[in-house]
Amino acid sequence: MKEAGFILAPHLLAGGTARDSVEWANRFIRCGLRVPLIVYRREGDFARRLDVGVPLEFLGASGALFAMPKLWRRLRTSPHAFVLTNCSTSAAAIIWLKRLRLFHGRVIFVESVSPSQSLRTTRKAIYAHGLIRRDAEAVVHLSAYARRYSVRLGLAPKRSFHIPNIVTFSQGLRSELRPDLRLRLIAIGRLDVVKGYERLIDAMPKMLQVYPKISLRIYGDGDQLQPLRVQIAKLRLGDNVELMGHTENITAAMNDADVFVLTSYFEGMPNALIEALGERMPVIATSCGGSVKGLLSSIGAAPALINDGPVFAEEIAAALKRIIEDKVDWEKIHCEFMSQHDSIMNFERLRALCIPKNGDLPQC
């Protein structure tokens, strides 16, 4: 089978970067295209999610720059294949190979973080994103907000595309939220400062005042594990808040909860939120720099937004109260969400960017 392209990923650790890379690789192989998934580091167990037959290769390097010699030798075996990646350093490195006429394929970059967040990171990341905006054949944004922001930063509109995350939908229906019953909250993501778990835990005493039977489970691993354990003990929330660690069975965890909570400061378009909506869960979420606000507003779920006000505990309690007591029509919201996130349609749009017919970019 001829190699049509390559998917580049830094690792296969739990998170949106690995999830999306694995999802793309699976869908390409299902439509009969050989698109190897090339991973820099042997970290993470997301490889178990790959379909049988997906080519998986490891470069044994700590990052894109250190992997360049090996990567170039691999790419030159198919110098006109496309490269699809959500790693900005990888995309920038391939663009430099193209400038040096060492590679000739299309570079498709999927922007996995908010453009506003990328401007707050390292000089290397800022340089990489600038190079991508100038020279990548196409930049895919997971939210309409991110696309508008990137165009304002100088990305040509004809190379900018809004294609939502690929997600599988649940067919089941959920029970109506009832405040008089046990209310189970769930949060999912790596234990990182950017996820805002410390302010979520700080808000639990306030939510317990309103809903005495409320509980919270947080799934994920990371360097904030010990600080969060200390915080839970200090607030005496051991009976109400659990740190569950990593889980491979996200669907089962969501089915054992009532409301998904997202309290991140910044996100591109969080996969955990997308999966929760795909599971027909009620959600509450911060705007995450604008990307999540745009999504929830577009599907009619604006009441689910948590205002980033000065007293966060009151704001999150107010958002929870709105979605429970104002009788938000979640069935209508989920139907609108599914119409926007049709997985077949969105993958076909992504594939058309990687392999355009007659060399023309499709119009969004």
**Average confidence (pLDDT) over 222-246:** 95
Report H helices in 44-122: 68-75, 88-99, 115-118
303-355 pLDDT, tens digit each: 999 998 789 999 999 999 999 887 788 889 998 998 888 878 889 999 999 99
- By the 10 Å C-beta count (0-12 exposed, 13-18 middle, 19+ buried), 42 is classed as exposed
What is the domain range of residue 191?
183-340
237-279 pLDDT, tens digit each: 999 999 999 887 888 999 999 999 999 998 878 889 999 999 9
How remote is the C-alpha of 339 from its chain's centroid? 19
Alpha-carbon gap, residue 114 to 100, rounded angstroms = 30
The pLDDT assigned to 175 comes to 67
- Shared domain for 331 and 349, answered yes or no, is no
- Shared domain for 40 and 96, answered yes or no, is yes
Residue 364 lies in a domain: no
Q: Using alpha carbons only, how large is the chain's radius of gyration in Å? A: 21
Residue 171 lies in a domain: no
CATH of the domain at 144: 3.40.50.2000
Residue 247 lies in a domain: yes
Residue 68 lies in a domain: yes
Q: How many CB atoms lie within 10 A of CB 179?
A: 14
Handedness of CA 347, 351, 353, 359 (dihedral sign): negative
Higher-pLDDT residue of 1 and 242 is 242
- Shared domain for 311 and 285, answered yes or no, is yes
The pLDDT assigned to 364 comes to 40
164-195 pLDDT, tens digit each: 887 777 766 666 776 667 899 999 999 999 99
- Shared domain for 78 and 154, answered yes or no, is yes
Residue type at position 233: A
Q: What share of the chain is helix, strand, coil (3-state, %, to 5)?
A: 45, 15, 40
- Shared domain for 190 and 67, answered yes or no, is no
Alpha-carbon gap, residue 118 to 88, rounded angstroms = 10
- Shared domain for 317 and 345, answered yes or no, is no
Residue 215 lies in a domain: yes
pLDDT band at 21 (very low <50, low <70, confident <90, very high): very high
Residue 176 lies in a domain: no
pLDDT band at 150 (very low <50, low <70, confident <90, very high): confident
Number of domains into which the chain is organized: 2
- Shared domain for 220 and 107, answered yes or no, is no
Distances (CA, A) of 5 to 103, 314, 317, 336: 12, 49, 47, 33
- Shared domain for 132 and 257, answered yes or no, is no
Task: Provide the mean pLDDT of the chain.
Answer: 88
